[in-house]
A and B are shown apart, each in its own frame.
Chain A
Amino acid sequence: MLDYLLSFLILTGAIFTFVGSLGLVRLKDFYTRLHGPTKATTLGVGCLLIASAIYFSNREAGMSLHEVLITLFLFITAPVSAHMLAKAGLHLGLPSLAKTPEEKIPEKDNETTKTLTDKKTAVDQ
């Protein structure tokens, strides 16, 4: 019974991790490619870690809770690295399918941005 549960968790984890990596190939520009690794992999790695925790808690005496720590670090570091990559991409002006937001984000003060974003929404409408 336990074996089936573990195999199910490991397979689900592997599938989601694979889909996340597949996103790198199938998506078209740098920014959309960031989405695959940051999201599809969290569930994938999560499933693998749950499977690992169950397996080692069963095999050895006592609980195995290293996995909780791995999850914690993963959830903290994955978004931060994605944020830094996106920021670097914006700084370098990489080609993007979406409209690049140079005029949207305030570089200096609030006043100019407000008018710019207002203008932008007016144009969009």
Chain B
Amino acid sequence: MRRLLPHPLLTPILAGIWLLLSNSVNPGQIVLGLLLGWAIPLLSIHFWPDKVYIYKPLTLLRYMGVLLIDMVLANFTVARLILGNPGRLKPAFIVLPLTLTSDLAISILAISITLTPGTVSAQLSPDRKHLLIHALNETDADALIVTIKRRYEIPLKEVFEKC
């Protein structure tokens, strides 16, 4: 089973992407999509050493909703900072201690941080324990760390890691 279908989750996702790409729901396209979804994980198995589980799909959905809202807000925040007085900004590097261990969860956290208000993830320490963040205008680093942990890291931990 593991040899034939190394990533059961990846297959429907790739099939869905194929259907979007072909922009149709012909039975033929669905079969082709499933075929690609089966073949691509098989060929790229060396890039995905760990098995991916989603323990709580509902939390993942809520997380995506929160992320979407935060992204829209982030756009307004950054637009205001750019149009305001850029000379008064106080950029800062902040180290975020990570409790996540799975590669996928860390990647998603880094992407979320980059897409949300005034922060860009800059570097992951080689031991995967700290994430370096660059904040555009930061007055209270501790509050930012607490917010990121509560809004993004804890839900991701619930979704991708067994507690």
Contact = CB atoms under 8 A, between A and B. Distances in A.
Contact of A31 (B21, B115, B120): B120
B129 A34 contact: no
A109 B127 contact: yes
A35 B136 contact: yes
Interface string A71-101: 0100110111011001101100000111111
Nearest to B118: A35
A72 to B, nearest CB: 8
- A interface secondary structure, majority: helix
A86 B120 contact: yes
A42 B123 contact: no
Contacts, number: 145
A79 B82 contact: no
B57 interface: no
A59 interface: no
Contacts of A99: 92-93
Interface string A38-56: 1110111000000000000
Contacts of A76: 111
A48 to B, nearest CB: 13
B100 to A, nearest CB: 16
Nearest to A27: B86
Contact of A39 (B24, B74, B134): B74
A36 B123 contact: no
Contacts of B122: 31, 83, 86-87, 89-90
A76 B17 CA distance: 14
B23 A106 contact: no
B20 A66 contact: yes
B134 A23 contact: no
Contact of A26 (B23, B82, B91, B120): B82
A101 B93 contact: yes
A86 B133 CA distance: 10
Given A27-B89, A110-B127, 9 more contacts: A20-B79, A34-B134, A43-B72, A66-B23, A68-B20, A69-B20, A79-B115, A89-B122, A101-B132
5 contacts: A40-B79, A66-B21, A79-B114, A98-B93, A107-B125
9 tightest A-B contacts by CB?
Answer: A79-B114, A43-B75, A86-B122, A101-B93, A98-B91, A23-B82, A79-B111, A39-B78, A19-B79
